[in-house]
Amino acid sequence: MAANVPLLVPEVNPDHAAAIAMQRTRDARSTEHGWSGSIVTNPNCSATPLVMALKPLQEAFGVRKVMVTTLQAISGAGYPGVPSYDILDNAIPYIGGEEEKVEHETRKMLGSWESGHGFIDAPITVSAQCNRVATREGHLECVSVELGSEVSLEDIIIAWENYVPEPQRLGLPSAPAHALVYRRERDRPQTLLDRDAGRGMTTTIGRLRTCPILGYKFVLLAHNTIRGAAGGSILNAELCVSKGLV
């Protein structure tokens, strides 16, 4: 969360990559310290698909509040990670530091980068509850959102389905055909069935319905170790290369 280190999700905030140039300027002054690369940080594996689903809504309607409860796979804890005796036949409603990361990183990634000022958080209130469940891969997230304007459910689905972000426009090698897929079945996305969508790079959304408290609720699912980690890093690198930043 350092001042000029971007949390980059190419489908969401490719403009944040500009912060790298700023790092470089400073690095130029600090090569005497023997190090002159740039840092791009991989965002949290739960925050990544969340901002992917929110970005088109933010652009089209504005987003004010986001309540999210996650059901996260064991692979999110690395290896050896969660002991089997802790998670078999269990659900654990605590992942150290995770809720804070989801809340902070979501605001940062949906915020703006202003040269000379740095990162400015999006004015969105985020509340997260994070759970570990006995799945191998795939973070499932139950989301409620308050938008900036009242729209129909179909308007929201169209915003997701029409969303063609920069990696897809640029045709980056690791970009899936669709950054977002909305499934209309009543019981999708499911962790096991949808985590490999777009070779693990697509975020799958479903179950959009009205929420009597915040207006809208839905479910999203993404592969935490591909989209949320290794694959995301590669896509970041591809973006930086295409922008001439590395």
Of the CA atoms within 13 Å of residue 230, those in its CB half-sphere come to 8
* Distance in Å, CB of 162 to a second copy, minimum: 24
* Distance in Å, CB of 50 to a second copy, minimum: 14
- Structure tokens, 7: 């949390």
CB nearer a second copy, residue 74 or residue 147 = 74
Q: What is the DSSP letter of 149?
A: S
Q: How many residues bind a second copy (CB under 8 A)?
A: 51
- Is there binding between residue 35 and a second copy (CB under 8 A)? no
**Phi and psi dihedrals of 166, rounded to 5?**
-55, -45
- Is there binding between residue 126 and a second copy (CB under 8 A)? yes
| CB 236 within 8 Å of CB 42 | yes
CB nearer a second copy, residue 155 or residue 215 = 215
SS3 46: coil
Tell me the one-letter amino acid at 229.
A
Catalytic residue flag (residue 211): no
* Distance in Å, CB of 208 to a second copy, minimum: 12
Q: How far is CA 178 from CA 160, 164, 181, 196, 198, in A?
A: 10, 8, 6, 13, 7
Which one, of 32, 13, 206, 24, lies nearest residue 114 by Cα?
13
List binders of a second copy among 196-225 (CB under 8 A). 206-207, 211-214, 217, 219
- Is there binding between residue 186 and a second copy (CB under 8 A)? yes
Active-site pick, 16, 130, 139, 178: 139
- Structure tokens, 173: 């090698």
Beta bridge partners of 192: none
- Is there binding between residue 90 and a second copy (CB under 8 A)? yes
Cα 126 to its chain centre, rounded Å, is 14
Calpha distance 95→169 (Å, rounded): 36
CB nearer a second copy, residue 135 or residue 242 = 135
- Is there binding between residue 228 and a second copy (CB under 8 A)? no
Stretch that binds a second copy, among 18-26, 28-36, 113-121, 126-134 (CB under 8 A): 126-134
Catalytic residue flag (residue 139): yes
Instruction: Name every residue whose Cβ is closer than 8 Å to that of residue 139 and which is 6 or more positions away in sequence.
Output: 45, 46, 49, 70, 71, 72, 73, 76, 221, 222, 224, 228
CB nearer a second copy, residue 92 or residue 157 = 92
- Build a one-symbol-per-residue string for 54-83: x at contacts with a second copy by CB under 8 A, - elsewhere: -----------x-x-x-x--xx---xxxxx
Catalytic residues: 45, 139
Residues lying near a second copy in the complex (CB under 8 A) are found at 65, 67, 69, 71, 74-75, 79-94, 103, 125-127, 129, 131, 133-136, 138, 140, 142, 144, 186-187, 189-193, 206-207, 211-214, 217, 219
